């Protein structure tokens, strides 16, 4: 996702596209989200899967039509297990970000199915998809997407405030202590380093205890040291908190933090690797032309 300066993408918007340049816009956005939010379940069928957090079944995504049509995903079937850190890699144009966006309900599909737990999100209307994302999904993007007028703690708890829910204080304290920024909670984003801002964004995704977190190039705007801090935090959230993370990355070093890497090429899932190292991922990418 392309970074947008001074804009924020909030984790439970219907399209994850709301801009918040100033406090007035932020407040208006919160009022709008509360107006469409209710307490109905996202889908009447409960998510009963104990082992698979997200999956694609024969997924096809085509952009455009006729001679200009681009087949970004070509009958992709892949599963992402619960309680694991999975990475998606591939050469530029391989479909890795498209796959994540379709699995997260940020983009529609041309054919096939995409599941969060046991819920086929391709069958949900916009309101129910919004509610499912609010209750089940967390997002971490490359561009941080923090509200500049809010301090770190307010940014972390913002999705729950929009939903009209109080945070679980014990869990929230655990997340805050894990990110290691308790002494910076009263600081606004402009007073934090890039790595600190991204850790706040990751904590925001974790605070509501989502079933799954999608991370799209979360270290793309960071130097190597800050990137390692963020990846270490995500790794600990899986190991110590039982979180499920699916991360798109082009960086073999970032992928080495994952339990498993799924490789895409030309819109197809072509390989996977368990217990990756930076060297083994780089070697595999060379064979894929990445």
Concatenated DSSP letters of 26-95? HHHHHHHHHHH--SS-S-SS----SSEEEEEEEEEEEES-GGG-EEEEEEEEEEEETT-EEEEE-STTSS
**Ranges of each domain in the chain:** 23-36+78-107+123-288
Give percent above pLDDT 70 in the chain: 82
Cβ-based neighbour number of residue 274 at 10 Å: 9
In CATH, what number does 23-36+78-107+123-288 get?
Answer: 3.40.50.300
User: Lowest-pLDDT range, 128-142, 250-264, 271-285?
Assistant: 128-142
- pLDDT of 86 above 90: yes
pLDDT band for position 74 (cuts 50, 70, 90):
very high
Decide which of 41 and 257 is more confident: 257
pLDDT band for position 290 (cuts 50, 70, 90):
low
- Could you tell me how many residues make up the chain? 290
Q: How does the average pLDDT of the chain come out, rounded?
A: 83
pLDDT of residue 49: 41
- pLDDT of 269 above 50: yes
């Amino acid at each position: 996702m392309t970074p947008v300066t001074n804009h924020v993408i909030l984790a439970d918007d219907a399209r994850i596209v709301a801009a918040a340049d100033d406090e007035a816009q932020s407040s208006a956005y919160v009022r709008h989200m509360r107006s469409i939010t209710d307490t109905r379940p996202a889908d009447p069928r409960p998510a009963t899967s104990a082992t698979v957090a997200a999956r694609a079944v024969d997924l096809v995504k085509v952009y455009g039509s006729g001679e200009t049509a681009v087949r970004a995903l070509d009958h992709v079937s892949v599963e992402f297990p619960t309680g694991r850190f999975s990475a998606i890699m591939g050469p530029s144009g391989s479909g890795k970000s498209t796959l994540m966006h379709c699995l997260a309900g940020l983009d529609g599909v041309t054919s096939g199915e995409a599941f969060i737990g046991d819920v086929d999100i391709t069958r949900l209307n916009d309101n129910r998809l919004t509610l499912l994302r609010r209750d089940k999904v967390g997002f971490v993007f490359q561009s941080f997407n923090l509200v500049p007028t809010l301090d770190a703690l307010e940014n972390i708890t913002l999705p729950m405030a929009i939903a009209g829910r109080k945070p679980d204080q014990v869990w929230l304290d655990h997340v805050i202590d894990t990110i290691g920024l308790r002494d910076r909670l009263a600081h606004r984003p402009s007073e934090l380093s890039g790595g600190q801002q991204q850790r706040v964004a990751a904590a925001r995704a974790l605070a509501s205890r989502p079933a799954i977190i999608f991370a799209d190039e979360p270290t793309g705007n960071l130097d190597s040291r800050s990137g390692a801090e963020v990846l270490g935090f995500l790794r600990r959230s899986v190991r110590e908190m039982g979180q499920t993370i699916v991360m798109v990355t082009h960086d073999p070093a970032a992928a080495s933090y994952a339990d498993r890497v799924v490789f895409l090429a030309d819109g197809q899932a072509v390989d996977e690797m368990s217990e990756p190292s930076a060297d083994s991922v780089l070697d595999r990418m060379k064979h894929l032309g990445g």
